[in-house]
A and B are shown apart, each in its own frame.
Chain A
């Protein structure tokens, strides 16, 4: 199964970014996995562990825009509860955005532990959306980064550049962040024009 995802504007904040919110240039596998769970209406993030994803983008690298925005910052304190005034608790800061991102995703559910496979659920969600129960807008990244559309890939959508696992590659993306320990699994990638049956697949641990 090969999906086409159109996202007009988004941001994938880098894990180790501090105040200056830099973005990854490509959607991390964990973000794509979250989008697919949302698409099928699954709220248990561990439900489809073991699924393999391959991610590609259509066209050149999406342009990065840098905006200046107001960032509010405060620690929880009883003293200031509800009184975080703009003058004291906000400051200007930069934030990077990506525009006109067109992503292609392949899903391989063969190694999934559960009986109900993610690939089957995605296929059903796209072919008969009336049969699924889900909530909320589909977003890739934060909730404002709405996805315009998701459907099976068509040949005339454009040529795909695939992210391929390469330990010497210059693209580093998080694959998974453990919520309990806060530890992350990271992988380096590079872009290729041909799909590679070995190196394109990333397993969600």
Chain B
């Protein structure tokens, strides 16, 4: 018997402009776009979300994180031995041998240390990331909005730039088998991280796009597939989940496996879900707290100190 934890998250609606450095050397910062049906939507990669989760763990559990990132390390002004190339954008590893028992990030996100051993035989140390994250997709089609800007100070022919922006909300899904973790209680920390993830959909790290959940659907189940991916849809100005209601009505998903939280609770869909027997909470944090409690009970795990 294996319990799986799935969650589909929809963020608040804000202006996203996630160029993530693809614009190096050009004047256009592009958003990643994807075609669905006859429309184009913007998308945020799973790697970017995983980066946001890593940042959370680094900020809250630094002693238990193996790979840390500090954009201000080894400033050439204070460290003359460093060349300009290696001054910033640097990862630090506490242990380059990695350890999923010791470190949260090695356990949740996996690692690969590719190398050859004796006689050129494969001596790669690797672990598949236990926490899987899907690509985030926008709820609204992209209509091609672009903003223009220019760098500060003296202007020249290269100082002007333009950035694609999208006023939208994103939804994405995570999958985790707590028993697949070296320490299953880390699943509880992963849920906390999802409620507090930052720095994912903005321009680099400078502008905030709030990536925390505005609404969330959690499912704790034996079923290996989530069935709750993409359940949020834009309905008028708000967000609804008609597909989720249908899935429960037809019996494809059991109502007692679901926990729903956030603004969706205040919509007619929240009422429908409650009637069908789903645990619905007005707050995301309460929904996550409930999911943590259920995980603890079902897997007999304790909250890490």
Contact = CB atoms under 8 A, between A and B. Distances in A.
B132 interface: yes
Nearest to A150: B225
Interface in A135-149: 135-139, 143-149
A9 B227 contact: no
Contact of A144 (B32, B46, B86): B46
A87 interface: yes
B226 A144 contact: no
B73 to A, nearest CB: 10
Contacts of B177: 134-137
Nearest to A100: B36
Given A65-B35, A135-B179, A136-B175, A129 B223 contact: yes
Interface string B84-118: 01101111110010000000000000000011000
Interface stretch (B17-25, B191-199, B272-280): B17-25
A134 B224 contact: yes
Interface in A1-28: 8-9
Interface stretch (A68-76, A104-112, A192-200): A68-76
Interface string A120-156: 0000010001111111111100011111111100000
Interface residue tally of chain A, by bracket? 35 or more
B176 interface: yes
A90 interface: yes
Contact of B134 (A9, A39, A82, A130): A9
Interface residues of B, number: 57
Interface in B45-96: 45-47, 85-86, 88-93, 96
B225 A138 contact: yes
Contact of B222 (A83, A86, A130, A148): A130
Interface centre among A39, A85, A132, A146 (most CB of B within 10 A): A146
Given A83-B90, A85-B85, A148-B230, A67 B32 contact: yes
B74 to A, nearest CB: 9
Contact of A67 (B33, B175, B221, B252): B33
Contact of B132 (A87, A88, A144): A144
B2 interface: yes
A182 interface: no
B41 to A, nearest CB: 9
Given A63-B35, A86-B21, A69 B45 contact: yes
Contacts of B37: 63, 100
B287 interface: no
B132 A136 contact: yes
B250 to A, nearest CB: 11
A41 interface: yes
B1 interface: yes
A133 B230 contact: no
Nearest to A41: B2
Given A100-B36, A143-B129, A85 B86 contact: yes
A41 to B, nearest CB: 7
Contact of A138 (B35, B115, B180, B224): B224
A86 B23 CA distance: 13
B43 interface: yes
7 contacts: A86-B21, A92-B24, A100-B36, A136-B130, A137-B132, A137-B174, A150-B225
Interface of A: 8-9, 38-39, 41, 63-65, 67-70, 76, 81-88, 90-92, 97, 99-100, 125, 129-139, 143-151
